[in-house]
Chains A and B, each alone.
Chain A
Amino acid sequence: MYKPENIRNFSIIAHIDHGKSTLADRLLETTGTVSHREMEEQLLDNMELERERGITIKARAVKLEYTADDGEVYSLNLIDTPGHVDFNYEVSRSLSACEGALLVVDASQGIEAQTLANTYLALDNDLEIIPVINKIDLPSAQPDKVKQEIEDVIGIPAEDAPCISAKTGLNVEDVLKAVVRDIPAPKADITKPLKALIFDAVYDSYRGVIVYVRIFDGKLSAGDRIRMMNTGAEFDVVEVGHLRPFGLEKRDCVMAGEVAYVTASIKSLSETDVGDTVTLAENQTEEAFPGYKKALPMVYSGIYPADGARYGDLRDALEKLQLNDAALMFEAESSIALGFGFRCGFLGLLHMEVIQDRLEREFNLDLITTAPGVIYKIVMKNGEVKYIDNPQNFPTGDEAEETCEPIVKATIFTPVDYVGTIMELCQERRGVFKDMKYITSDRAELHYALPLNEIIYDFFDALKSRTKGYASLDYELAGYEKSSLVKLDILLNGSMVDALSFIVHTEKAYGRARKIVEKLKENIPRQLFEIPVQAAIGGKVIARETVKAMRKDVLAKCYGGDITRKKKLLEKQKEGKKKMRSLGTVEVPHEAFMAVLKFDDE
């Protein structure tokens, strides 16, 4: 029975590890939606990788049925949000599908940058925020202090916030009560033309794209012809229904206020952009939802099969992943050193790692990846403006009038003890200090302008290791700034290895060059010839190491007529060569390519 006044649409905002998934599990259990026995750990995070990394990459939604004290049955639609800065846009679309959000804060850790950023997103979307203090069972829990922090920092009342332990189930019922009591029912008018917001979409090999929508106005049934207002694509609806923990629940009709799925024989995710507005082709709503944008990659890298013969497999794998991840972009490229591969664009570094992991794990591919880079803006002498995502396209000589790099506005939350350390780190990474606020007596919020290029190397790791994991980071792109950039080339035995080139700030060039030639020296085994390893800018060598020639590689004894030993040894060496890339006369193991990508924070 359709009762919009009994619908509640909400998200959970939480920092990684603050217990979002555990709370979601507990809500499913408490409402009887999933029994404890059925409960697979953390149902909402259903990709293996997500579970391992403890983060949600793709948003999911689920409908819970909750019988409140007044005897009324409520439909609670929980829309899960990705918990990482790379997926900011997806978060904002998920939030705008809701009327409220649970702000889950760890009782011993307090608010983190990510949480705050998402809370602001929620406030921008006029969501009702319900603070929830989690992990109060921990000895280090300081619920009152955290409540105060919420009031001070976010400016919302937190006195009555449920204090729970999602792990033990303590007071979880209070959360459900608060959801029903505090989050407004959707304003729903089923007489208006259909207006629905796409907040997620997944590809299913049997049904095509399954679109997740929040319906704001009107209703939608199988057989309706729908139109995506931004892409202009039209489809005939095959099926609609609700999202249940164990799958899709088919309905004849879904209506205003509800969260639903739609299938319409849609072949490609590129036609169902998150943030787009779904309406009826014949009876259109007046205006699409604001805020729609195409997800644009910020980080680029080359991905090559370690075994050149598997180029086709890599292409198939990327195509398959793209079906489910519209933000992944790729195009064919070739490298003299690595052969044929793809230049891939990612939302951020995490997105890149996730894709690489999935390629290796789900498709059994061995990959060689090139150093991640960003899109640089080059103003040429002739006035032409170029955006380049591949170091190979960096202008040579003095063709460029001006080089610019993307800058982000970074917000870092930290216990005050680490302010000095973080300032030092930001300075090392060419950050420009903007301002700092004490949000409580012992926590601070720092604002920096940082080059994106610096963030994508190891900024996260460095921040975590230097602050024992206490500091958190959020950032958004803030445009391009003029910057002195150079292309650094690596030469092995005098020949340039294109796949190892990268663009770097002049000030950083020498340090990076040193590190890279040292790493290569460590990772390239001694060979028959001495191999000079050089780093150069525009032909001028700025760092050099030498891989000494191998001195011993011999089977000393070959007696008694037993030549099998020698044969085995030669077979083994031939096998070993397959794990190498032959660059001119130099054999480079795959690990060497990977090693130079890892910039340890030393």
Chain B
Amino acid sequence: MNKGLYIHFPFCRKKCNYCDFYSLADGSRKGEYIDALCREIKAYKGISVDTVYFGGGTPSLMSGSELEKLLDAVYTSFDVDKNAEITLEANPMSVNEGEKLKAFKSAGINRLSLGVQSFSDTELKELGRGHTAQDAVDTVKRAQEAGFDNISIDLMFALPRQTLDSFTKGLDTALSLGVQHISTYALSIEDKTVFGVKQRRGENLFLPDEDVEAEMYFSACERLSQAGFEHYEISNFAKDGFRSRHNMKYWQAEEYIGIGASAHSYFEGVRYSMPSDISAFCNEARRLDSYTNTPEDRAEEFIFLSLRLSDGLNLQRLEKEYGVRITHQFEITARELVDAGLCKYDNGVLSLTHKGFFVSNSVIVKIFEAL
């Protein structure tokens, strides 16, 4: 089966206040790092891939030629399907920078994932994003002019001082731009971030409470469905035929190869990651962190990943491919969850409802207990 290919670009102009992904604000080693990526890519031979994903960090900080160099390496080493989905994560850009979009397109990028996060300038400032709402609108338009017809927008909710109203206005703006895909996810405060530090110090971040958060989520579900988007993953909505094929591989427990500092892979049955350290990555004698990967782990992963999708958990597959017996207790638990409006259970497929998605951790633990 075709695999996915993920390439991590860990550089950003500046670190955002909520982000705890591996990224660096100092771009001085960018060239060296891209060379190392190329070397690593060239180490593979003849593997078929049908999705390529440049994630970060901010991969749109690369120049057109840098991206071209990487993609050349990819085409040389991998057997890339002719209909492959090739995604680039990009931040909204200023006009000058926006010229790069054409270069990205001609280098082979056919899907853009734009980190818009919010269409409110006050919220953007609070988040520490380096762009305005207008930058985001302009970037979408320029991308469309450059010929991109598969654009995704990231929008966050449960932001400091955010109201239900400002969030739904943002959703409406996103819809008015005619994008094909929207990811909308709740802010979570992580330890090693500006927000995390503030919270530990006891500062009030003015976060909406649990009930308001839930309302924001449900209003997104409702609005986007009405606008013809399929709610196919907890946080992801797509027009027909525009699901993120790359991300689907993660959620369907399919294999992918991750290249770059902090990149994760699931390759030949083993899950592993590369160190979150560009020096270690540039130095080829690096260590890989593989995680335990027992049959039980694989079954658990299949369950919790499948349940992120509206497609749900196929119990027949769980039994046949993962050897998990469907117990009587499972049937009871499933009924309870259905009665509570958290799950749907039809034709041997258990899936979560909107309400269930937003409490999915607890639902999944309940399902684990029943199996």
Contact = CB atoms under 8 A, between A and B. Distances in A.
B247 A551 contact: no
A566 B55 contact: no
A558 B214 contact: no
A563 interface: yes
Interface string B150-173: 000000000000000000000000
B186 interface: yes
A561 B265 contact: yes
Interface stretch (B95-103, B278-286, B357-365): B357-365
A309 B18 CA distance: 43
A72 interface: no
A384 to B, nearest CB: 43
Interface in A491-528: 527-528
B271 A563 contact: yes
Given A552-B358, A553-B359, A553-B361, A560 B342 contact: no
Contacts of B188: 555-557
A556 B273 contact: no
Nearest to A528: B362
Nearest to B8: A560
Contact of B364 (A551, A570, A585): A570
Given A553-B361, A563-B301, 18 more contacts: A528-B363, A551-B210, A551-B213, A552-B214, A553-B358, A553-B362, A554-B234, A556-B186, A558-B250, A560-B258, A560-B263, A561-B250, A561-B265, A561-B266, A564-B291, A570-B365, A573-B362, A574-B365
Contacts of B242: none
Contacts of B357: 554
Contact of A569 (B235, B301, B361): B361
A562 interface: yes
A425 B121 CA distance: 60
A448 B51 CA distance: 84
A569 B308 CA distance: 15
Interface in A562-579: 562-564, 566-567, 569-570, 573-574, 577
Contact of A552 (B213, B264, B365, B368): B213
Nearest to A569: B361
Contacts of B217: 552
A563 B55 CA distance: 16
A292 interface: no
Interface residues of B, number: 48
B185 interface: yes
B340 A555 contact: no
A552 B258 contact: no
Interface string B177-193: 00000000110100000
B336 interface: yes
Contacts of B305: 558, 563
A570 B307 CA distance: 13
Main SS class of interface, A:
loop
Contact of A551 (B258, B300, B359): B359
Contacts of A561: 4, 6, 250, 256, 258, 263-266
Nearest to B266: A561
A554 B213 CA distance: 11
Contact of A554 (B21, B263, B271, B359): B359
B366 A528 contact: yes
A559 B250 contact: yes
Contacts of B304: 566, 570
A551 B362 contact: no
B247 A559 contact: yes
A583 to B, nearest CB: 15
A551 B342 CA distance: 11
Interface string A339-361: 00000000000000000000000
Given A552-B186, A570-B304, A563 B250 contact: yes
B342 A528 contact: yes
A156 interface: no
B240 interface: no
